Amino acid sequence: MHSARSNERYVMANHPCFSESAHHVSGRIHLPVAPECNVQCGYCVRKYDCVNESRPGVSSVVLSADEALSRAVAVCERVGTIAAIGIAGPGDPLANEATFETLGLIRRYQPMAIGCVSTNGLALPDRVADLVAAGVRSLTVTINAVMPETAAEIYLWVTGPGGERLRGIEAGRFLLDRQWTGLRMAVDAGLVVKVNSVFIPAVNDFELPAIAQLAAEYGAHKHNILPLIPQNKFRDTVPPTPAELHAMRAECGSYLSQMSHCKQCRADACGLLGEDKDMETEALFARMGEEYEEAVC
């Protein structure tokens, strides 16, 4: 296990999403092993990837842990720049046991890669220890509100402690408590943490600076404000303009360092940010290369 300080230095220097300069030279892979989700965000249509971290509109294949490992190994061999191996969906990684199985395999076979997970935070307080045990070094938690009333507008339902569906203010209160508690626990456990927030005009825009301020107080390392992609409940909501997004990042940046190079990648993205390679094609080429070498040897 790395010390919290050395982990922070390493991730902040090498993870393409935490480091503006590293993203030109270091890539990442998202392994799509997590189809289930435990909440329903008002801006998500479930047949697509988790839009808290990924771009909707392109369905991912779902891989088993073994399939994910073989693709990760093949892609790392072919694309020499992979620094981070993450799980970002297509649902919530912490709602899927395959996430932990995959992370365990990755840790064993690609120990130098930065293990990375993105979550809506609902299950986080129960799984921080499991994430650390599986070798995760960086984490993204999507937090869209500080007030339960605002969260109640954003989330259609949230899975409650007994598996029931909570709605309205009760759902908002429960989810926020889990997200903020989980964030503090993750920081205390030595993970490098980014908070993602979806900017929904006229719904949570006035709360984004408070999220940045509180996240900084809780020890988060980065804040990534994502413009709303209108769909589901918010399909008629006009997303923020680039100028509004820029101004919001500037305001929130006085509390917490802002990420401004997010590409809202697919849950099966791989390669450098903005220069995505197709994971299946890379894995196929890697297999063809092995077969070619076997044939000529």
The contact set with ligand SF4 (CB under 6 A) reads 17, 28, 37, 39-41, 44, 50-53, 91-92, 120, 224, 262-265, 273
Q: Which is nearer to ligand SF4, 167 or 263 (CB)?
A: 263
For the CB of residue 224, give the shortest distance to ligand SF4 in the complex, in Å. Answer: 6
Q: How far is the CB of 290 from ligand SF4 (least distance, A)?
A: 28
- Residue 211 C-beta: closest distance to ligand SF4, Å: 16
* Min separation Cβ 140 and ligand SF4, Å: 6
Q: Is the CA virtual torsion 139, 145, 147, 152 positive or negative?
A: negative
Min CB(297)–ligand SF4 separation in Å: 38
**C-beta of 52 vs 150, nearer to ligand SF4:** 52
* CA–CA dist 199, 223 (Å, integer): 12
Q: How far is 293 from 287, CA to CA, in rounded Å?
A: 10
CA 34 to chain centre: 12
Q: Which is nearer to ligand SF4, 91 or 125 (CB)?
A: 91
* Comparison of 56 and 135: residue with beta carbon closer to ligand SF4: 56
Q: Judged by CB, which is closer to ligand SF4: 133, or 174?
A: 174
**Amino acid at the residue 216:** A
Is 36 within 8 Å of 92 (Cβ atoms)?
yes
For residues 45 and 133, which CB has a smaller minimum distance to ligand SF4 in the complex?
Answer: 45
- Phi, psi torsion values for 277, nearest 5 degrees: -105, 160
Q: Residues 11, 12, 15, 20: what is their CA dihedral angle, to the nearest 10 degrees? A: 180
> What minimum distance in Å lies between the beta carbon of 296 and ligand SF4?
37
Of 24 and 263, which CB lies nearer to ligand SF4 in the complex structure? Answer: 263
Kindly give, in sequence order, each residue whose CB lies less than 8 Å from that of residue 236, ignoring residues fewer than 6 positions away. 230
Nearer to ligand SF4, 15 or 184 (CB): 15
Least gap, CB of 51 to ligand SF4 (angstroms): 5
CB of 79 to ligand SF4, least distance (A): 15
